[in-house]
Amino acid sequence: MGWARGLYSAALHLVAPLAWRRLRREHALTNPRELRLGQVPETPTGEPMLWLHCASVGEVQAARPLIEALLDRYPRHRLTLTTMTATGAERALALAGARRDGRLVHRFVPLDFPAAAARFVGRLRPELALFFETELWPNLLHACHRRGVPVAVVNGRLSPRAFRGYRRLRPLMREALAGVDWLAAKSTADAERFAALGMAPGRTSVVGSLKFDIARDHGAREVSERLRMRLGERPVWVAGSTHEGEEALLLAAHARLRETLPEALLVLVPRHPQRFEAVAALCQQAGMPAARRSRGEWPAATAAVYLGDTMGELLALYGAADLAFVGGSLVPIGGHNLLEPAALGVPVLTGHELANFAEVAEVLREADALVEVADEAALAAALARLFADEAERRRLGEAGRAVVAANRGALERTLEGLARLLPAK
């Protein structure tokens, strides 16, 4: 074991009690401790397996086109999708359940202890391992390398903030990246940051962002159409993937909006399900009690807020809206996927905290397809302006949809690169 990975593994064991405590807060029905130690069912001999790891729900959603393409291109293989979080697990299980063919299964990724990583890879026996975006686990990468499993980092990105953190661990990252056979980077800037950590440029390709290759979900579109029909002609805006501290700002903006547009409805969709109850209480405290989708409630004509407290329905809710605000951007989270509403032709609004989607935001800005606001007062003003200007809403929506269409192609370039590691059989 290299000295850097040895120190890392020792440190990981020292903080293990904190890691277990964090995992206990994950609300999953099936999350026994042994799964986090790599004790997954063994892949039967002769059953080819692919492995894709995504951190959480946002990455699973972004990886969906890749998941479907891999299962189509490699029809003899099963695909194990691992996540770190329970919310990611819920989304992965929903995708697996929708397929009905049993070829997509979910497992929780093990903690990155050397023995757990080796046990997991040894039992899973993947023919190809894919790590999505910034998921770089040194012992898992090493376990793959030892067993001769080719490894790719797909949709690879390193935000400036993540790069600064990893740079402090450069010897460890250099050793970890030595086990990566191919990096499919989102942008030149991402590729350069990976190279500065030790990734060989000869094993790196800039393919673009998979987020532009958004899967077309006909089921979600049908739900959107039913929702919109039932909501009628009232002005509707969705605030999706919101975070603690952000909902209060959004409710304040909505209260301002309703001073001049009293029939306006806010569909509020918190990012994390463990916060649904707290957000419902916050709406009550703000004097705007929310109808809750999880309970089958429906907002009355005079209701101000509809709480989207279900999983996997954000796209359907975006599709039923006149305007969409993408959360994690009025608080220092770094933003979420601006392209989901854009792909549906829904005008996109966002706050200024966009570190996680800087490249995407820049593309949308260049096309004049993004409305950015600094605070709740600016958001209320922007909402009022856009609700009063149907032509501008239509222009913004069409511009956003055009951006997504023009930037598709990363999926096919990624599949071409993966075929060099694992030719189709």
Tell me: do 171 and 82 sit in the same domain. Answer: yes
Asked whether residue 365 is domain-assigned, the answer is yes
Asked whether residue 360 is domain-assigned, the answer is yes
Asked whether residue 52 is domain-assigned, the answer is yes
pLDDT in tens, 386-423: 999 999 999 999 999 999 999 999 999 999 999 999 86
Complete edge-to-edge strand list for the sheet that includes strand 265-270: 290-292, 305-307, 265-270, 236-242, 323-326, 348-350, 371-372
Asked whether residue 4 is domain-assigned, the answer is no
Tell me: do 246 and 178 sit in the same domain. Answer: no
Tell me: do 399 and 413 sit in the same domain. Answer: no
Distance CA 290, CA 300 (A): 10
Tell me: do 105 and 182 sit in the same domain. Answer: yes
Tell me: do 250 and 319 sit in the same domain. Answer: yes
Distance CA 109, CA 54 (A): 9
**Burial letters 347-356, b for 16+ CB under 10 A, else e:** bbbbbebbbb
Tell me: do 86 and 98 sit in the same domain. Answer: yes
Tell me: do 203 and 247 sit in the same domain. Answer: no
pLDDT in tens, 74-129: 999 999 999 988 888 888 988 898 887 889 999 999 989 999 999 999 999 999 99
Q: Which of 59, 135, 175, 359 is catalytic?
A: 59
Is 59 one of the annotated active-site residues of the chain? yes
Residue 29 clears pLDDT 50, i.e. is over it: no
Residue 367 clears pLDDT 80, i.e. is over it: yes
Residue position matching structure tokens 């200007």: 389
pLDDT in tens, 87-97: 888 889 888 98
Asked whether residue 12 is domain-assigned, the answer is no
Asked whether residue 174 is domain-assigned, the answer is yes
pLDDT in tens, 141-181: 999 999 999 999 999 999 888 999 999 999 999 999 999 99
* Domain CATH code at residue 412: 3.40.50.11720
* Domain CATH code at residue 270: 3.40.50.2000
Asked whether residue 21 is domain-assigned, the answer is no
Tell me: do 348 and 253 sit in the same domain. Answer: yes
Tell me: do 39 and 183 sit in the same domain. Answer: yes
Tell me: do 246 and 176 sit in the same domain. Answer: no
pTM for the model? 0.79
Distance CA 311, CA 327 (A): 16
pLDDT of 300: 93
Domain that holds residue 254: 218-406
Tell me: do 326 and 228 sit in the same domain. Answer: yes
User: C-alpha angle with apex 122: 14 to 158, nearest 5 degrees?
Assistant: 60
What is the phi/psi pair of residue 129, to 5°?
Answer: -115, 130
Tell me: do 257 and 246 sit in the same domain. Answer: yes
- What total of structural domains would you count in the chain? 2
Asked whether residue 15 is domain-assigned, the answer is no
